[in-house]
Chains A and B, each alone.
Chain A
């Protein structure tokens, strides 16, 4: 193999191995920033050596061994306490982690889990968590992360450096969270992954095209998490939600880049393989026999849509019940708004209108165009055309993008007929 080919092959190998190596090293040196530097050293040695020697039979093991040697050298140089030397190796410390038995059987998965809990640590800002997770678990370059978020590369580079520094300064241990903090820490991890996914799914700054890399990175992280933390129902819930939402990629944007709403989508364009995976993930969570959390409820709602062969076959009664549950578990005005829509589809517009009316004074929805737009829709269906006209006009004033505004004004005009 010539040099460019070897370098390309190393790219592929690095993508597969980098997170595992960084995670193992982080357990040794107790510092994710240092661990990444040492892992990078191993990569550089491979890039120099493999074009001459050829790629070893087990490149992953080669990189891991080389990186660990670097780590041991480093620690020798630091003249670390003798005791710490003896701890080096493959053993896993078992304190603080009574409920992670399955993970403890599995050193690699365990290290990856520690790594993701560290990169998603609550002391970091959300932006920093996302960037650091993409860097250390996705193995993405700073340049790749910057282009995914449409920000200049130095911004991301700085964000990552600062994040590593904050973790070191706060002396964040490279450990699984103790049982008492587990729920909160896990939800921070899931939040980071879902944020990544949403950033890719709906480019928030206006352009309607999907930025697929962030979505696939988030989905990949979720799938990894489902394997290394299989006993957490919300992990499967998040994976299911992302699988089902991803199944609609091909259907959710029209030929000129305009968004197509769920109920108007061509369902034959949905990716049925991903739907099947999403439904399977929900079943995996159900088998754990715990109560449904936020993500699992959202996934179950998405699954109701995914199971309906046509929009008219949608089980709105079940969706309403799921929104009822969601508004208990994770109450928010937006959930209420969606609950109102589901109720109106299941039981008629007057039922939905009741919920909407209770939201009209909600400050966080004051500038949210969907509130008057949904209210207008209910009023229209109830034959209260003058009021509907007013609501659609209000909604048009608040709408963020041109296409939506046009659509709302058209609906306002239709009320006058």
Chain B
């Protein structure tokens, strides 16, 4: 299963201040550890929201409203994310706990979110039932 570790923005990251060399180093080592454990799928950092836009649909069926960045609430902005593929939620939590404090001055915040699997997105309940049935039959009859 896949999880996304989302690093929230801070005032510094929003102001385009680069992380300290120590933090960059710690993050680098952490990512390397993820890669060497075979769980790292992707890791990206995002530009500050000053060059972002926000598109909203205030009126259902109406035209979208476009707002230019920067946006004010740093903690509601994403500064980066790391995508991992792990065996269990517990493993994902353990990895998230090991991520270095991403900002280092009281503003660090990481959010861990599970990514939907293809099967969870299938709307066809008959198909899911058929697959479950197939799996169940299959598991009951062990191969010689």
Residues of A at the B interface (CB closer than 8 Å) are 8-9, 11-13, 15-16, 108-109, 147, 149-152, 155, 203, 205, 207, 209, 216, 219-224, 227-228, 249-250, 255-257, 273, 277
B127 A12 Cβ-Cβ under 8 A: no
B139 within 8 A of A: yes
B124 within 8 A of A: yes
A16 B37 Cβ-Cβ under 8 A: yes
Kindly identify, within residues 46 to 101 of chain B, every residue whose CB is under 8 Å from any CB belonging to chain A: 83, 85-95
Interface of A is mostly: helix
A150 B35 Cβ-Cβ under 8 A: no
Docked pose: A381 CA to B39 CA in angstroms = 46
Nearest chain B CB to A110 CB, angstrom units: 12
Docked pose: A150 CA to B87 CA in angstroms = 19
Find A257's partner among B39, B83, B89, B131 (CB 8 Å cutoff): B131
Docked pose: A187 CA to B43 CA in angstroms = 31
**A8-B90 in contact given A152-B142, A209-B134, A224-B37 (Cβ < 8 Å):** yes
Kindly report which residue of chain A lies nearest to residue B117, judged by CB atoms: A212
Q: With a CB–CB cut-off of 8 A, which chain A residues contact B94?
A: 9, 12-13, 15-16
Kindly report which residue of chain A lies nearest to residue B95, judged by CB atoms: A16
Q: With a CB–CB cut-off of 8 A, which chain A residues contact B141?
A: 150
**A228-B42 in contact given A147-B139, A207-B134 (Cβ < 8 Å):** no
Find B93's partner among A12, A109, A205 (CB 8 Å cutoff): A12
Q: With a CB–CB cut-off of 8 A, which chain A residues contact B38?
A: 219-224, 227
Interface residues as binary, B2-40 with A (CB distance below 8 Å gives 1, 0 otherwise):
000000000000000000000000000000000111111
Nearest chain A CB to B32 CB, angstrom units: 8
Kindly report which residue of chain B lies nearest to residue A212, judged by CB atoms: B117
Docked pose: A207 CA to B131 CA in angstroms = 9
Known contacts A151-B143, A207-B137, A219-B85; 10 further A-B pairs (Cβ under 8 A): A12-B91, A16-B94, A221-B38, A227-B36, A250-B118, A255-B127, A256-B130, A257-B130, A273-B42, A277-B41
Q: Which among B35, B36, B92 has the greatest number of chain A C-beta atoms within 10 A? A: B36
Interface residues as binary, B123-144 with A (CB distance below 8 Å gives 1, 0 otherwise):
0100100110011011101110
Q: With a CB–CB cut-off of 8 A, which chain A residues contact B83?
A: 273
Docked pose: A169 CA to B29 CA in angstroms = 40
Nearest chain B CB to A257 CB, angstrom units: 6
**A12-B92 in contact given A224-B38, A256-B130 (Cβ < 8 Å):** yes
A207 B138 Cβ-Cβ under 8 A: yes
A109 B134 Cβ-Cβ under 8 A: no
Q: With a CB–CB cut-off of 8 A, which chain A residues contact B93?
A: 9, 12
Q: Which among B37, B40, B41, B139 has the greatest number of chain A C-beta atoms within 10 A? A: B37
Find B88's partner among A15, A152, A257 (CB 8 Å cutoff): A15
B131 A151 Cβ-Cβ under 8 A: no
9 closest Cβ pairs, A-B complex: A12-B90, A12-B94, A223-B38, A220-B38, A224-B38, A250-B118, A12-B91, A227-B36, A255-B127
Q: With a CB–CB cut-off of 8 A, which chain A residues contact B42?
A: 273
9 sampled A-B residue pairs with Cβ under 8 A: A8-B90, A9-B93, A147-B139, A150-B138, A150-B139, A150-B142, A205-B138, A222-B38, A223-B39
A11 B142 Cβ-Cβ under 8 A: no
Docked pose: A11 CA to B89 CA in angstroms = 10
Docked pose: A228 CA to B33 CA in angstroms = 11
A109 B36 Cβ-Cβ under 8 A: yes
A12 B88 Cβ-Cβ under 8 A: yes
Q: Which among B86, B122, B131 has the greatest number of chain A C-beta atoms within 10 A? A: B131
A209 B135 Cβ-Cβ under 8 A: yes
**A220-B85 in contact given A150-B138, A205-B143 (Cβ < 8 Å):** yes
Docked pose: A203 CA to B141 CA in angstroms = 14
**A16-B91 in contact given A109-B36, A220-B39 (Cβ < 8 Å):** yes
**A273-B41 in contact given A16-B95, A250-B118 (Cβ < 8 Å):** yes
Nearest chain A CB to B82 CB, angstrom units: 13
Docked pose: A183 CA to B90 CA in angstroms = 37
